[in-house]
Each structure stands twice: as C-alpha cells, then as structure tokens.
Structure 1
Amino acid sequence: MSVEEASSARIVVGIDGSEPSKVALRWAVRQAELTAASVEAVTVWEMPFTWYGIPFAPDRTPYIERAGTLLHEAIDAAIGPEHPVEIRCRVLEGNPAGALVDTSRSAEILVVGNRGHGGFSEALLGSVGQHCVHYATCPVVVVRGPKAAEMTVGISPPGRIVVGVDGSHSSKAALRWAVDQARLRRGIVDVVIAWQYPPAYGMSDALVTGDFDRLAAQVLRESIDEVVGPEPPVEIRESKQFGNTVQVLLDKAQGAELLVVGNRGHGGFAEALLGSVSQHCVHHATCPVVILRDDVNSRPPVTVEPNGP
C-alpha cells in the first residue's frame, strides 16, 4: 500500500512485542479498514536502570534502535509486508501507560492487548492496560478471547455486538457506539440490562412495589429510544435478565464480536459500569471489550459507510 496523506481518524495501538499486542494490532488494522482510519503503532521504552536518578547507560541510541526494531518486527509478524491501511510507527521514551494515554488524546480508539510481557516494556493489561482503561479520554479496546487470537486482517464478517445498559450517560454512549459499529459491520446488537433486588433500605416507592422486572424493561426501552430512535439502522435485540450484572454480560458475550460497556454507571437500580462491572469484563470476557467514557456521549456518531459490496 502506497503512503498517502494521513486520515484524520486515528487508531492508536500499544505494541510491546508480545503475542497479545500483535493480536491487538490486527484488530486495530481491521477496525481501520472499516472506518477509513490510519493506525498509529506505538512502542514505549524506559531507561532500565538508574543510580541515584542517573541512568547507568546514558546513551539512548541502542534503546531507541531496539525499540524500533521490535516495533517493525511485530508489525511484519502480525500484518505482513502489505498493509491494507496506513500504519505509522512511533517510538517513545517514558512511562508506557502515560505515553499511550497522552498519545491517544485525539484518537478515535486506543487498543491494547489483554496482557503483555515484562522486561523490555511493561505488561499491557497489567498496569498499563488498567491505566488506559481508567484514564484514556477516547474509547479503549482490550483485545482478548479465542476469536480475536485467530483473527486475520480483512473486513469482518457480520457479527454480534453485546452492550450493557443501565440508564446512565456512559451506558448510552456505549449503546450509541455499539449501534454505529454494528452498522459498519452489518451486524446485530444485543442490548442487555441485568437487575438484582436492591438493599431493603433507601428504596423509592416505585421499588417498594417489587416490580423490578418492569422497571428494568422501562430503563432498557427508554435507553434504546433515546439513543437509536424508532427506526434503528441495525437489528437490535433486547435482553432483560435477573442476575449479577457481570455474569449476565459475560454469558451473553460468549461468541460475540465485541462486548461494549460504559466506564461507569450509577448505583441503585443497576450496578456501576466501571466500577466493578467493567473491571471484571476486561479481565474475564471471552471477546474484545470496549470501554466508553460518558464524555464520549457528546461526540457525534461515525458516519463512514461500510467498505465493500
């Protein structure tokens, strides 16, 4: 692929040479094909040893060269010599977590593997991925699961996207993003709400009636109506279940292309979506997990048409 003028849409992916980071790169390239974006592959290195704050090896050149070699070898191993989208390479010095968050500030998506390896650069999810999930200002994708590991570069076949809602702003941002991605993939969206009996104290009159199932259905329907409207552009299936929010979402996401959740929800009726729900999903889901921040809710949806016939 010839190098052309960079697209304004940018997907940042963290590379540390590990297999999960190569899987994350393939996911990022496939997403870039769908959205006509460019991929920014980032490797971050740190001076390994200091003595009273002074590096033992003040010459940075070998580390920069090693990082560049690692990055290009990872791209060749994951994608091959022909790139279906523009891939820009960046080698940065500093803390990997902070560098990825800073680099992704104006990006469409930040993509990380579910784990990395120590030694040359810090693990991606470990602490780096955790930091990105908490502090990145754009959607964060944690690529995990057997389907992702087997993925090859190329336009995705139609698939299923699962999204958790609880009526909060961030869950509506997640729903909006999921619907837009399903349109690009010509897929379907499973919109899921889970409910449990709240503590006996502090309940409103509506909850005292015991009609929790009805209230869940109302929150689910109102969220869809507000975000999608009466004529959704993709097939949407509603799912209302009693049970632990995390387990309901993980079970529903079995075999899905993506699980999408907000970075936090609200307590009371539904359990928070990041808090504990999103934390558990990024660690235990069997498919890639997308974390949406509530401030992403103000962004207009992507309007790029799907590639291909």
Structure 2
Amino acid sequence: MAPRRLLFCLDESKQSVRALEWTLLHLRRASDELHLVTVLPPLLYNVYPVAPVATGAAVAAVTHQWEAQRRAEEHQAAEVLKAAVDLVCTQHNKVPRDLVHTKALPAAGGASGVAESLVEYARTYLIDLAVVGCRGMGAFQRSLMSFIGLGSVSDHCCHHMPCPTLVVRGEEAVLSRGLMQADEAHPPQSAQPKRVMACCDDSPHAHAALLWALDNTLLPNDHLVLAAVAMPVPFPVLDEPATVAAMQSAQYREAAEAAKATAQDVAERCAAAAQRRGVGKTKLTTVALPPGSSSGDIGEALCKHAKSEGVDLMVVGSRGMGAITRSLLGLVGMGSVSDYLSHNSPCPLAVVKGVAGGGDDGAVVVTGRHGDMAEGGHGAHAGLAPMGSTLRPITEGDGSEASSMQ
C-alpha cells in the first residue's frame, strides 16, 4: 500500500497524547509519514492609556513584554513537540526519525484560528488523515466557550478538514485497550484485534466512508461491524375511535418493520461490498437498529450499539453541510449525525467527507481535498494550492528548539 501522511494535532493536554498513542498502535503503517504539529496561542495585546504609550520607555516595555510572551510560548511548543518525538521514535513505537516531521504554527486567534492553521497545513502538505483529541465538553459548555473564541477545535476540523478526521475520544478503559507503557522489562506490544463499526445507509457519503474504512483501518484480524439505522416512521395520532386507532397502530408497526428490513438490506449490501474487498464472513457482523425520530435518535442508537458491542473505532460519512444548514436542519430534528457522534461517541470516531461512485467497489472521491481526488489506495493529487501567507511554520526539526516568527 502507498504510504500515508498522518497529521497529529498536539498540545500539552493528555487528550492529544492519548490520541497519538492510540493511532500509533491501531492505525499506523510502517511506511506512514507522521506530521506532529502544534499551534501557538495568539499574542495577548494589552491596551494602555495613550500618553504612556507615546513615550519611548513605554513602547520598549510593551515590546519587551510581547517578546517575552512569544519566547515562552515557543519554548512550551518546543517541549510539546520534543515529548511527542520521544514518544514516537524512542519509546515502544520505534518510528524511523526520517518519517517524523514537526511544526509549530501561528494561530489567528481562538479555537477557529487554531483549527484554521491546522486545516491550511493539511491542504498544503496533502495530509491523508488528521488526528485530534477531544476534551469532551458538553453542548452548553461548547456554546458558551464559542462566544469568546474558545470553542471546539475538533468540531472545526471535522467540518473543514480536506481529509478524513479522526477524533480520539471515549472513556479511559476504551482508549487504553491494548496500550501498555513499554520499558526494558516489557517488549514492544503489537496491536490487539479491534472492532471497527461503519455506520451505513444508502447514501454515497456512507459508502465512501465504508470504502475508506476498508482501505485504511482494518487489519487482517480485525472485526467489522456494519450498522444501519432504520428510517424514522411517523407515529400516528391516536385520537380516533378505538377501531381506527388499532388500525393505525398496526400500520405503524408494519411500517417500522419494513423500515428495519430496508436497513438490514442496506447492511447486507455493504457486507457484500466488504467481502469483495477481502473481508471474511467470520470477520463481519451486520445489524439493523430500530428507527428513531431525529438525527439525535439515530446517533444515540449508534452510540448505544457501539458501547454494547465493545467497538474500538466508529467510521461515519459526512454530507459536508455548512453551519447555517446544520443549524436549520437541527431545529426540525434533521441535523448532522456525524456531529452528534463526534460529541457523544463512546470510542474514537473517523469522519469521512466525500462520495463514492462507480458501483459497489467504486472509487472514493474526497471532496475539497486539494481539489477532488480519487482514492482507491492513493490517487494523484490535483489542484494544489500554495501555502498561504497566514501560515508560516516557525519550527521544523526535532522539536528541541523554536526559532522566532518572521
């Protein structure tokens, strides 16, 4: 298989370190390039009265404060990168140093500024998979933080990355499966077989996610779970006479069973496509989940099944809706399932944007990724955009030191 470029979005939090560890154990191939990237926080500019700023001494004091702040933040970024390189190259992973690249990038400000730097880096360096940690904030906290520019970086990456995004989240017991701190008394540990759940429907976006999962996440001993949720069925308003109400209830049950049968058919067709890609029958499970009434119910059904089945990784397609469209559809219960899963999944989640064509085994077209790119392994990259002036890497090397921003 062709080598991939994996982007790891790092900071000083334990969530980003866990995301790096989990991906190295479960998804990394020997030939993959690893891009370890951290983003500097924006400089804090204090506002002083006009008269003192006009003096030379005041200007020198403010400039000195900015320089001291910049040096401290660059030193902290260098320490983050150095620790990541040590984890990747010198501990139990033993990745060759020539496959590891480090960068510290400036941010425009707030969570969106941090994420925009990461998105532009992914476009410039043709990244195949972006990996981010998740702080697990609730909906109310995310809303409040977004008002002051401190919203979710993983949210922004899921919506704007030109490549699939892996959000490593979940309880510690889930993330630590198969992980062990290597030392002299313990040899390097190989990954244990994992359970990968692909969320299926009859859309080209879901099929693209399935094909991506088959090409990028499954190892020979892994188990694939194909889960499809039945379409919602309107529940009848039972204010009719008893006979009519009974008929309506029977019709509802029949419609619900028909919807579940359709979902099972979708899962079976996805299983057939997976078998044509080399997945054995003994490594496949299909399930049709009962219908819900909204995107939240669909997402909740998928999360409950993933937790009950001990799933290690979920893969879901994304329609790539804009913020306004997502908000409007959310008001009528037709919001983004991938959004719900990215906030509530009990295990790591891969969000794949794109469509599949050319039959059951058609190519995956990842939309917005340096132009459209056919992916069936790896295709040629077209329509590359040069690095913008807003993204100037300030460090490149082993993360041991940081140079000044030009």
Which of the five TM-score ranges fits, normalised by the shorter chain?
Answer: 0.7 to 0.9
Matched position secondary structure for 2:219: helix
Instruction: Work out whether residues 43 and 90 of structure 1, in 8 Å CA contact, stay in contact via their aligned partners in 2.
Output: yes
TM-score, length-normalised on structure 2? 0.60
Of 221, 234, 244, the residue aligned with 2:268 is 221
Give yes or no for the alignment of 1:283 onto 2:343: yes
Which of 76, 89, 105 pairs up with 2:102?
89
Match of 2:79 in 1: 69
1:43: Cα distance to partner?
0.6
Distance 2:114 2:176 in 1: 23
8 Å CA contact 2:230, 2:262 repeated in 1: no
Q: In the alignment, does 2:300 pair up with 1:247?
A: yes
Is the CA contact 1:41–1:90 (under 8 Å) kept in the aligned structure 2?
Answer: yes
Shift of 1:88: 1.8
Contact kept, 8 Å, 2:7 with 2:130, in 1: the verdict is yes
Distance 1:300 1:80, change over 3 A: closer
Q: Contact 2:33 / 2:100 at 8 angstroms: preserved in 1?
A: yes
How many Å apart are 1:237 and its aligned residue?
1.4
CA contact (8 A) 1:162 1:252 kept: no
C-alpha distance in structure 1 between counterparts of 2:27 and 2:287, whole Å: 30
- More moved, 60-69 vs 39-48: 60-69
Aligned-pair identity (%): 25
Aligned pairs for 1:34-183 within 5 A: 34=29, 36-51=31-46, 57-59=65-67, 60-76=70-86, 78-79=87-88, 81-82=90-91, 83-85=93-95, 86-94=99-107, 95-105=113-123, 106-115=126-135, 126-145=151-170, 146=172, 147-149=174-176, 151-152=179-180, 154-181=189-216, 183=218
Shift of 1:30: 2.7
Per the alignment, in what secondary structure is the counterpart of residue 250 of structure 1?
A: helix
Name the SS for the 2:193 alignment partner. Answer: coil
The alpha carbon displacement at 1:164 in A equals 0.6
Partner Cα distance (1:216, 1:265) in 2: 23
Verify: 1:13 aligned to 2:88, yes or no.
Answer: no
Contact 2:229 2:301 in 1 (8 A): yes
Residue 294 of structure 1 is matched in structure 2 by 354
Q: Per-residue displacement from partner, 1:51-73 (whole Å, max 9, x unpaired)?
A: 57x98644344432331123213
CA distance in 2, matches of 1:265, 1:175: 16
Q: Give the deviation of 1:230 after TM superposition.
A: 4.6
CA distance, structure 2, for counterparts of residue 116 and residue 219 of structure 1: 32
Map of 1:3 onto structure 2: none
Q: Aligned AA for 1:64?
A: E
Distance 1:245 1:157, change over 3 A: same
Q: 1:33, 1:84 within 8 Å by CA — same for their partners in 2?
A: no
Deviation at 1:181, TM superposition (A): 4.1
Asked whether the equivalents of residues 138 and 292 of structure 1 are also in contact (C-alpha less than 8 Å), the reply is yes
Equivalent residue for 2:246?
none
Determine if contact 1:18/1:116 at 8 Å carries over to the other structure: no
State the shift of 1:113 in Å. Answer: 0.5
SS at match of 1:164: strand
The answer to whether the 8 Å contact 2:6/2:32 transfers is yes
Code of the residue aligned with 2:77 in structure 1: it is A
Residue type of the alignment partner of 1:247 = E
- Kept after mapping to 2: 8 A contact 1:169/1:265: no
Larger CA deviation: 231-240 vs 100-109: 231-240
Unaligned runs of 5+ in 2: 48-58, 108-112, 138-145, 181-187, 237-251, 292-296, 322-329, 357-363, 366-373, 379-406
The 3-state SS of whatever aligns with 2:284 is strand
Structure 1, unpaired ranges of 5+: 1-6, 202-206, 304-309
Q: TM-score, normalised by structure 1?
A: 0.76
Where is the helix percentage greater, Structure 1 or Structure 2?
2
**Root-mean-square deviation (CA), in Å?**
3.5
